[in-house]
Amino acid sequence: MNDRQKKIFWTFLGLLLLSQCVSVVVSFPASSDALRVWVSPKLVKGSQAHLRAVIVGQSDLLHRQGVRYRITLHQGKREQALIEKTVDSNTLDLGFLVPNWEPGPARLIVDAQFESLAQKVSLRLELIDQPELGVQWSEPWRAYAATSPSDPATTRPKRSQALPVEAYPITGWAVRNIELPLILRRKDGSSLRVRPEGEPGLGTVFDTDDFARLTMQQPLHRGRYRIEIANASAQWKAYDLWLHNPPSELQLTATKRAVKPGETTQIVLRSDNRKPHYMLQIYQGGQWERMERVAMDQGRGVFDYRAPDTSGWISIVWASDLVTDSRRKAFVTLRVGNAPYPIGIRGKLTQMSGANAQQARLSRVHPERLQPTLRADTSTFRKAKVEEDRQIRQGYAALVFQGISIAFMSWLGLNILALYISRKRSRKALALEMEEAEVLSGHEFQTLGTILVLLGLLCLLLVIGYLFNHMVWGW
């Protein structure tokens, strides 16, 4: 090759490599900050609702401060601004009044800007006239533990079937390090009295509805409580109660769980964790209504809750976080007025009107959700966008690579043609005159070497194209 051909040759090779490397050079990751929004999917017209928004760093999981939010509610051509401000705290907790618009679909648009990063999500909502029930019936056997006391039973445990009583923990489940208020229901009339194991005295007599209420102290092991039951001959026999005992740290109880509309009841918090306060979620039916901050003193806190003026179910819930499915949760449900019970209650329990029977029935009404609904998480959208951009970049890079390859091979083909013509003329000149042959035989290409170079370059192009088309790039 002469100098000009060498320059062209190396230029083509450089362009081929650059066409593939450019997709890596510009393949920088999108922002690692994710916008998350929690809000109930169905909102009652004219009611109070709650929303939480936060921007979380995916690398350090820290909540960003100084985020500017603009949140609007839309239905058709209607628009209502809910907030537009810069929030200095870690999260935006926004309580707002749902407008009295027509029942039907609506959209909530959340626009968040942190430094140079702007993110926007549009959430589908539905405006309804009446609140959903928001609670469900939990079978009494679900109060027992599965293989591990940390997990609830998913099928009726065999050891619970052998017990002469059914257990109804008033707090929904057993809580560590705190005494457990417990209602027991005898299965037949042979059991007359019951008491915690080791407690002196005559124990507690089962009432006419076959219920008795006890206060159980610390379990022997996680979820394992021991009781003694006496028959008509005053003979006591001990039994194990293996109750569901998740690693919760908070117990919620209400002084009155069935209240009239507008009536006030006390919610008592007890914890073995010396936190200064707890944040409780309050749901009216299935709608997240507000957050309540309760101060704690020596592991105990109290707040007065005023029931709404309409009948329904109220769920007061604590969860250690709103994202992961943590077991650290607590709840209490309140029946306001003549709210209907959820489907699933069977047998005589539906008709019993005694105080213990009512408490047992209310203890098995659980919230449908122990966390608000996470409606948006842009980390998922961001990954999809990065994947889409990567495919587009690879497509353009492959197109450029093919174009340069075709041009390169065409240039090499022209050089071969020139070589062929040159050597043909050399042979012809040699046959005519040796002096002319010396002038025309000076072409630097050699046939065998050229063929080997072309085969090598062709293999190189195929290998480069295969590697770059099948390489999986990181985010």
39 and 373 in contact (C-beta within 8 Å)? yes
pLDDT (tens digit per residue) in 418-464? 777 777 777 777 666 655 444 444 444 455 566 566 667 667 766 66
pTM: predicted TM-score of the whole model, two decimal places: 0.74
121 and 110 in contact (C-beta within 8 Å)? yes
Q: What letter represents residue 337's amino acid?
A: G
Per-residue pLDDT of the chain (475 residues; tens, 9 = 90+): 566 656 666 676 666 666 656 555 444 455 568 889 999 999 999 999 999 999 988 777 788 899 999 999 999 999 999 999 999 998 999 999 999 999 999 999 999 998 888 888 999 999 999 999 999 999 999 999 888 888 888 898 888 888 999 999 998 777 777 889 999 999 988 889 999 998 888 899 999 999 999 999 877 777 888 999 998 888 999 999 999 888 778 999 999 999 999 999 999 999 988 889 999 999 999 999 999 999 999 889 999 999 999 999 999 999 887 876 677 889 999 999 999 999 988 878 888 888 999 999 999 999 998 888 888 887 766 665 656 666 776 677 677 777 777 777 777 777 777 777 777 777 777 666 655 444 444 444 455 566 566 667 667 766 666 665 555 444 3
Intra-chain end-to-end CA distance of the chain, in Å: 43
Residue indicated by tokens 């079937």: 161
pLDDT at position 443, please?
Answer: 46
The whole-angstrom separation of Cα 394 and Cα 203 is: 77
Q: Which of 272, 370, 365 is nearest to 327 (CA)?
A: 370
**Cα distances (angstroms) measured from residue 237 to each of 209, 213, 312, 339:** 22, 18, 42, 40
| Domain ranges across the chain | 33-130, 386-470
pLDDT (tens digit per residue) in 376-397? 887 766 665 656 666 776 677 6
pLDDT at position 440, please?
Answer: 46
Residue 116 has phi, psi (to 5 degrees) of -90, 0
Fold that domain 33-130 belongs to in CATH: Immunoglobulin-like (2.60.40)
Annotate the chain with three-state secondary structure: CCHHHHHHHHHHHHHHHHHHHHHHHCCCCCCCEEEEEEECCEEECCCEEEEEEEEEECCCCCECCCEEEEEEEEECCEEEEEEEEEECCCCEEEEEECCCCCCEEEEEEEEEEECCEEEEEEEEEEEECCCCCCEEECCHHHHEECCCCCCECCCCCHHHHCCCEEEEECCCCCCCCCCEEEEEEECCCCCCEEEECCCCCCCEECCCCCEEEEEECCCCECCEEEEEEECCCCCEEEEEEEECCCCCCEEEEECCCEECCCCEEEEEEEECCCCCEEEEEEEECCEEEEEEEEECECCEEEEEEECCCCCEEEEEEEECCCCCCCCCEEEEEEEECCCCCCCCCCHHHHCCCCHHHHHHHHHCEEECCCCCCEEEEHHHHHHHHHHHHHHHHHHHHHHHHHHHHHHHHHHHHHHHHHHHHHHHHHHHHHHHCHHHHHHHCCCCCCHHHHHHHHHHHHHHHHHHHHHHHHCCCCC
pLDDT at position 447, please?
Answer: 54
The whole-angstrom separation of Cα 285 and Cα 131 is: 6
The whole-angstrom separation of Cα 435 and Cα 177 is: 111
**Torsion of Cα atoms, 183 then 187 then 189 then 191, to 10°:** -60
pLDDT at position 133, please?
Answer: 93
